[in-house]
Structure 1
């Protein structure tokens, strides 16, 4: 039976365990991070820890989400200890939109760096057990201050040229006291980006990724599904202006999750005990690649089984804030 974990943030904090049979509060813990650390200390799985803690009151997770009482499925008292990163060109078909975008910008007649990196991933992104595969494209998104709760607004900077959705899966990790990374589970995610900035010059990819992101309400624990199929849509003034299916899971990827995880956590700075990592695994489906230009007020909606609740975020723009550096 598929186990999903959620975090209630109002009126009091609580962890919720949900299955097809229903949902209940998990007694004795008020965050998924604390639950995961308890499981690590006990030497068993997070599902075993949930079972050991028993069942509290029954709840309706859809009603709680509609009431704004469900937060992101992971957080930390100090947002600086939540590191958000990601990898791109990881899904079969993901190179098409990126390559078209960069080729049009450069008017190139030769194979782009994006296509070369994608093909290298197809060739070596799923190594045999015990071997190290091709390293993927990697980027930094920010710390936990960039995390937007499900149902919350995406606020693109005043200087942004685009605010575009990226429907995908994200791995959620906690670093144990001995520096070992532990995958808590997978979440549905919108890895919000600025595709116009990226299209101008591939070397601006880093700038385009310094944006907010949002995780779906549910954290799927246990063995990840090989195939995930969902729908991404944009709703404007109550009408769907764009909708498209998206695929994820290792069966639809050019890299294995293990390979992506290895090339992230091979760096010692990402193995600091107690830290939380949110790592976005990439997508092959973008409205921008279909010529859609988003507008303020648009609502992004992503849903996919085995997750049961959608992820919705509205697009807004921040006011300009003067930036000045003082010399001391």
Structure 2
């Protein structure tokens, strides 16, 4: 079962290739709030609303009419975050970025990766090792499928990271409720990150796209997708990517625990988009994304492909004014 939503309001429910509007549903966020209040799951809430007209979801996506599959009505109460070095094989690209000819022993990236391999899948009643964690921004940086991922004027790079994201709404008592999962493009500045690992936080303060659909239910154990870069409508780079717990050094529950263990992230009504990392980067293959390129992430188990063009913001020099 998949959920998506329209930019001008309205929720779409899809199962197999048939998609319908959900009656009297303005947003996925409102449906999730209703589900929490009523003590129901998303499927039951949609059944209670009923289904309306049939729609051509692929045509809606091609026309740029689909929004992120969930948003908070107040962007300041929506948080985009993620974890890194969580996938088997994810350490090689990161390790290469942070290894110099004079390095001795293991880099911090490789140490963190090994910690995950050894302790990222705890047994019942145990707490696993915490992953690398990063912050991307509020709902202000959430980009709809089809819209441009805009690098700031000072960026040294802007390239894709194909990931799976968990989508969560915090209930009245601080309980995180998971709506489901979605494809995500965790757009980052890898040149800035490569200068010094301490610039990682800077490199992540970029927009991110997710969707077009929410997979409602549990995440498949083995997800197989493809990440592509198109230039002038031709594929210039393409590579498979793997996700799901069979291909990860951490369990989803361990990653969720280490995010929501902070009370800051359990404020009632807040919405969280938490990305689970990747092992596939075009940057690691010495490919450089250019303005006008289109980034495409596809994994059939996760719904329709996520496509976004890339652009760059105009020069802006902020001036601080004393009061």
Flag structure 1 segments of 5+ consecutive residues without an equivalent.
none
Residue 21 of structure 1: how far off its partner (Å):
5.1
Correspondence 1:51-200 to 2 at 5 A = 51-104=47-100, 107-200=102-195
Cα deviation, 1:126-163, whole Å, max 9, x if unaligned, reads: 11122110000001000000011100001101110000
Q: Which residue in the other structure is 1:40 paired with?
A: 36
**Mapped contact 1:47–1:222 kept (Cα < 8 A):** no
What secondary structure does 1:320 align onto? coil
Instruction: State how many pairs are aligned.
Output: 323
Give the Cα–Cα distance (whole angstroms) in 2 for the partners of residues 50 and 171 of structure 1: 20
Give the Cα–Cα distance (whole angstroms) in 1 for the partners of residues 168 and 237 of structure 2: 33
Q: Which residue in the other structure is 2:3 paired with?
A: 5
Correspondence 1:174-323 to 2 at 5 A = 174-323=169-318
Give the Cα–Cα distance (whole angstroms) in 2 for the partners of residues 279 and 119 of structure 1: 22
Flag structure 2 segments of 5+ consecutive residues without an equivalent.
none
**Mapped contact 1:150–1:313 kept (Cα < 8 A):** yes
Cα distance change, pair 155–69 in 1 and its aligned pair in 2 (3 A): same
TM superposition score normalised by structure 2: 0.98
Give the Cα–Cα distance (whole angstroms) in 2 for the partners of residues 152 and 228 of structure 1: 25
Give the Cα–Cα distance (whole angstroms) in 2 for the partners of residues 325 and 21 of structure 1: 52
Give the Cα–Cα distance (whole angstroms) in 2 for the partners of residues 220 and 19 of structure 1: 10
Runs of 4+ in 1 over 6 A off after TM superposition: none
**Mapped contact 2:212–2:303 kept (Cα < 8 A):** no
Residue 6 of structure 1: how far off its partner (Å):
0.4
Cα deviation, 1:271-305, whole Å, max 9, x if unaligned, reads: 00000000010000000000111111111011102
Give the Cα–Cα distance (whole angstroms) in 2 for the partners of residues 174 and 279 of structure 1: 11
Give the Cα–Cα distance (whole angstroms) in 2 for the partners of residues 114 and 37 of structure 1: 39
Residue 37 of structure 1: how far off its partner (Å):
1.0
TM superposition score normalised by structure 1: 0.97
